[in-house]
């Protein structure tokens, strides 16, 4: 999947290509791809702030740029997976965390 936007800098940059492991949960501190609760057709990549059996709460790394990060718990059903590897650009290829 491709990253669009700068809210996860410096970990992820606009235009990064990532491999994703399908998952329904993630631990605090891990990157996660979730469905946007405001528009479920849209995927967001964020970092897990808190995790519970019901789902996850997420935040952006570049927090000041992200006044509209989804608030509240995102249900496990809307957790899509965890980015694990960046395969492009090649010079920054490698595991992501």
Partner 1 sequence: MHHITRLIAPRVTAHAHCDIPCGIYDPTAAKTAADTVAKMVEKIATFQASDDTNRNNYIRSVHVKEEHAQLCKKELLILWTDYFKPEHLEKYPNLHDTFWKAAKLCSKNKQSVDAKAAADLVAAVKEISDIFSATKK
Binding site for partner 1 (CB under 8 A): 1-8, 12, 14, 17-18, 33, 36, 42-46, 60, 62, 64-69, 83, 87-88
CB of 52 to partner 1, least distance (A): 22
Question: Residue 51: is the preceding peptide bond cis (ω within 30°)?
Answer: no
> Could you give the 3-state DSSP secondary structure of residue 59?
strand
Q: Cα(44)–Cα(41) distance, rounded to whole angstroms? A: 10
Nearer to partner 1, 18 or 51 (CB): 18
Nearer to partner 1, 53 or 90 (CB): 90
Nearer to partner 1, 13 or 53 (CB): 13
CB of 50 to partner 1, least distance (A): 19
Cross-strand pairs, 30: none
19 φ, ψ (degrees, to nearest 5):
-95, 145
């Amino acid at each position: 999947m491709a990253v669009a936007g700068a809210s996860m800098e410096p970990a992820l940059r606009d235009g990064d290509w990532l491999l994703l492991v399908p998952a329904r949960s993630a631990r605090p501190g891990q990157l996660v791809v979730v469905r946007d609760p405001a528009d479920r057709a849209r995927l967001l990549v964020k970092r897990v702030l808190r995790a519970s059996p019901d789902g996850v709460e997420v935040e952006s790394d570049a927090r000041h740029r992200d006044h509209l990060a989804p608030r509240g718990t995102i249900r496990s059903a809307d957790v899509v997976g965890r980015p694990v590897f960046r395969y492009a650009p090649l010079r920054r290829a490698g595991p992501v965390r």
